[in-house]
Structure 1
Amino acid sequence: MSAEVRSTRVVVVGGGQAGLSTSWCLTRDGVDHVVLEAETAAHEWADRRWDSFTLVTPNWHCRLPGYAYDGPDPDGFMTRDEVVAWLGGYAATFGPPLLERTRATSLTEREGGGFLVATTGPEGEVIFSADHVVVATGGYHLPIVPAWAPALDPSITQLESAHYRNPDQLPDGAVLVVGSGQSGAQIAEDLHLTGRQVHLALGDAPRVARTYRGRDVMTWLSDMGLYDTPVAQYPGGATAREKTNHYVTGRDGGRDIDLRRFALEGMRLHGLLEAGAGTHLSFLPTAGAALDAADATYVSINRDIDRWIEAHGLDAPPPSTYEPVWRPEAETTALDLVAEGITSVVWAIGYRPDYRWVHVGVFDGAGRPTHTRGVTSVPGLYFLGLPWLHTWGSGRFLGIARDAEHVASCITGAVARRQPVG
């Protein structure tokens, strides 16, 4: 039996904050469209965050088209459940044409222009024929796990960060967390605060102060325009898209994450995890250099704030200087999991995109879409919700509205010109 074919002007793939923001703009502009969501709207906030998760950006950053945080604590940090509730209320404000549990399985170009989006869902197989497609599924699809991970002893529990919920989920014993980006650092903290023995394999993630000179650092950075600067204007240009986000936390009202202090309290810090088999792991001796580099970024950002305050004659508390509280005396390059009592490994290395269902030639050699502000070289095909899509703010609530407005304006402009494909 052949699939049903339905026609619409625009197909938006993804019902998270980026897809819903696009839908809000298109609904406002009277553009016929449909939003396809493989699970439920914004499900990743509920399904892929641990129990103690909080935003690392202040609540006032939470702004979507026609919808902004208006709670009692704009400078605080919403918990996972609060984010789920806040974002869950968005769709009700404008009634998007949302099809949940409807997965896009294939995107191909339509003969003569436009696209065909094959789907599977409650109504079976349906093909949507559209002039425009907005892929708003984000860029974090497949967890990065070393190819040798299956060679570890099967008695060791292995868990990807998206599936971590709380320390009680893991077997008794010490835990190795691999990766010191936002997720890895916060999961290591979560385990550490409950008294678990934690080993943390450091990557190259930088860190940032939570507050400096009387204000949240991210509020300073916003005032300084860093979240609004196009990626092309940053040193290195588009290579900024490869940078790891700074680690910090919004937990308990927000604070720094200082891995050196955790080490003083008993956390074991290691360099880059290089290889493993059975119960044996090997590390590169890079922990000291990783800590120094993270601190250098921390200090550099604070100095930028100092210069901003001085240049604008602002009244603020005096500057301060960070002094390292711990340094590694010797670096571990080999570890026996059994000898250390390590019973589980949490992989928090990061994610890579997975667009294998998109059969349109707009990708680079690493499988990432090539675009300018979300607009690809193929007329009518757009991407949204990617980190550094246009600015540093693009991958955050703060920048989604601007990106969605830009892409929607490209679509509505083509509709106004009566062009079937824009």
Structure 2
Amino acid sequence: MTKATHYPVVVIGGGQAGLSVSHELKKRGVDHLVLEKNRIAHSWRNDRWDSFCLVTPNWQCRLPDFPYNGNDPKGFMLKDEIVAYLEDFARMVDPPIREGVAVTRVGRGKSGVLEIDTSTGPLTADHVVVATGGYDVPIVPPYAHGLDKSVTQIHSVDYRNPDQLPPGEVLVVGSGQSGVQIMEDLHLAGRKVHLCVGPAPRSPRVYRGKEATEWLMEMGYYAMTIDKHPQGEKAKEKTNHYLSGRARGHEIDLRRFARDGVSLYGSMAGIDGSTVRFADDLATNLDDADDVYVSIRRDIDAFIDANAIDAPVEEPFVPVWQPQDTPLAVDCAARGISAIVWAIGFRPNYSWIELPVFDGRGAPKYDRGVSPVEGLYFIGLPWLHTWGSGRFLGVAEDAAHLAGVMDARRNARESVAA
């Protein structure tokens, strides 16, 4: 049996979160290894559609000691530009990384060290940082298997462009960020689109003379910690607000798309052959999304008033379209729907972590990424500590914190040994 090589720290995942941890560990002189099962920036390069771009402006790209330095801070990087940004960051970090190495198990050995089984052999470590993100398994409902074979089905992770789909109309299931952007991509290409609208909230893009994310930054929203959030831990389960960075950025009002020819339905409820069924919740979901949209505008209004800021006044929001007699079922064959794009998200896969670190729902437990299992850490997850944690904006702070914890524990262990 091959003897395991030991490292003080092993970072699993070579995306922006894992690279950020590596950078902070190098600054502290902590020996470590980064394992990446594919290659740097793989998910940005391979798991996004052709027209994909950031929904947050470029100035929010603040990886540690590597902020965006292009000439368009208020723009939104396209997919290839995001990949280039990460590759440039990796060159700056120069991490001790092994690409093409998959981790199949992390557990505790008899000697107390953490064991890591990989596709190239075993390792051990004092500390393991899980930086794999939470987008491992594409979600497709079980009843999708009952759809007539004449209708093509793909998940958003496999969608690239409208020409990829067979001729005909397209049903997009899900109105989170991916769903609405794929819907718009198809609509702009002249395809007839149907959209199942779920409970995702939406956000303004520009309001009262300034990009909404700039207002929210000034208001301290991105620095809000999970313990200060009004919904507490439940905030981790909330879907991100939908809007777009396409064509210099704009908000997405699904009512306007309905007025312009996109057919809207409630949440998907089931499939029988070529017939898809919907819940009777379209009006509720549209109203709820608009309520969040209006509440963000109200918060900005209050901030402007409280700080006596000179900003232009905008008219109150008024819905431009209301659903009437929305069908609760559609026959794909009769309607000419040739394809369904599932955009209802992903679920994490932590089955390879054989340590008591998960709650009753399979989610990892941690405090600012530090788990209750000695030596195990998480990073790159939404609301790890703040609203910015799962974004380019907040990962630097999280990485510095974890590197500091590991360094302090290493120094304490060395002091005890001495």
Tell me the TM-score normalized by structure 2.
0.98
Match of 1:177 in 2: 172
Q: Aligned equivalents of 1:306 and 1:172: distance in 2?
A: 46
Is the CA contact (8 Å cut-off) linking 2:22 and 2:93 kept in structure 1? no
Match of 2:286 in 1: 291
Among candidates 343, 346, 370, match of residue 351 of structure 1: 346
Match of 1:29 in 2: 28
Match of 1:106 in 2: 105
Q: Aligned equivalents of 1:274 and 1:133: distance in 2?
A: 41
Shift in Å, 1:128: 1.2
Tell me the TM-score normalized by structure 1.
0.97
Shift in Å, 1:414: 0.7
Give aligned-pair identity as a percent.
52
Shift in Å, 1:127: 1.1
Match of 1:390 in 2: 385
1:420–1:10 distance in 2 versus 1, CA, 3 Å: farther
Aligned length: 416
Match of 2:320 in 1: 325
Q: Aligned-pair RMSD on alpha carbons?
A: 1.2
Match of 2:47 in 1: 48
Q: Aligned equivalents of 1:50 and 1:133: distance in 2?
A: 32
Q: Residue 418 of structure 1: SS of its match in structure 2?
A: helix
Q: Aligned equivalents of 2:231 and 2:374: distance in 1?
A: 28
Shift in Å, 1:332: 1.3
Q: Aligned equivalents of 2:213 and 2:248: distance in 1?
A: 14
Is the CA contact (8 Å cut-off) linking 2:127 and 2:406 kept in structure 1? yes
Is the CA contact (8 Å cut-off) linking 1:354 and 1:367 kept in structure 2? no
Q: Which amino acid aligns with 1:104?
A: V
Q: Aligned equivalents of 1:297 and 1:112: distance in 2?
A: 52
Among candidates 159, 162, 179, match of residue 164 of structure 1: 159
Match of 2:207 in 1: 212
Please give the per-residue CA displacement for 1:305-325, whole angstroms capped at 9, x wherever unaligned. 000011111121113321111
Unaligned residue ranges in structure 2 (runs of 5+): none
Among candidates 267, 272, 275, match of residue 267 of structure 2: 272
Match of 1:130 in 2: 125
Please give the per-residue CA displacement for 1:344-379, whole angstroms capped at 9, x wherever unaligned. 000000111100111011011221101111111011
Shift in Å, 1:212: 0.4
Q: Aligned equivalents of 1:226 and 1:111: distance in 2?
A: 45
Shift in Å, 1:342: 0.4
Is the CA contact (8 Å cut-off) linking 2:358 and 2:364 kept in structure 1? yes
Is the CA contact (8 Å cut-off) linking 1:22 and 1:408 kept in structure 2? yes
Match of 1:97 in 2: 96
Q: Which amino acid aligns with 2:348?
A: P
Shift in Å, 1:113: 2.3
Within 5 A, what are the aligned runs for 1:116-265?
116-120=115-119, 125-265=120-260
Shift in Å, 1:111: 2.2
Is the CA contact (8 Å cut-off) linking 1:394 and 1:403 kept in structure 2? yes
Shift in Å, 1:288: 0.9
Shift in Å, 1:294: 0.5
Q: Where does structure 1 differ by over 4 angstroms across 4 or more consecutive aligned residues?
A: none
Pick which of 197-206 and 323-332 moved more.
323-332
Please give the per-residue CA displacement for 1:53-84, whole angstroms capped at 9, x wherever unaligned. 11000100001111110100111100111101
Q: Which amino acid aligns with 1:241?
A: K
Is the CA contact (8 Å cut-off) linking 2:19 and 2:93 kept in structure 1? no
Unaligned residue ranges in structure 1 (runs of 5+): none
Q: Residue 408 of structure 2: SS of its match in structure 1?
A: helix
Please give the per-residue CA displacement for 1:181-219, whole angstroms capped at 9, x wherever unaligned. 000000000001111010000110000011101111011
Is the CA contact (8 Å cut-off) linking 2:9 and 2:129 kept in structure 1? yes
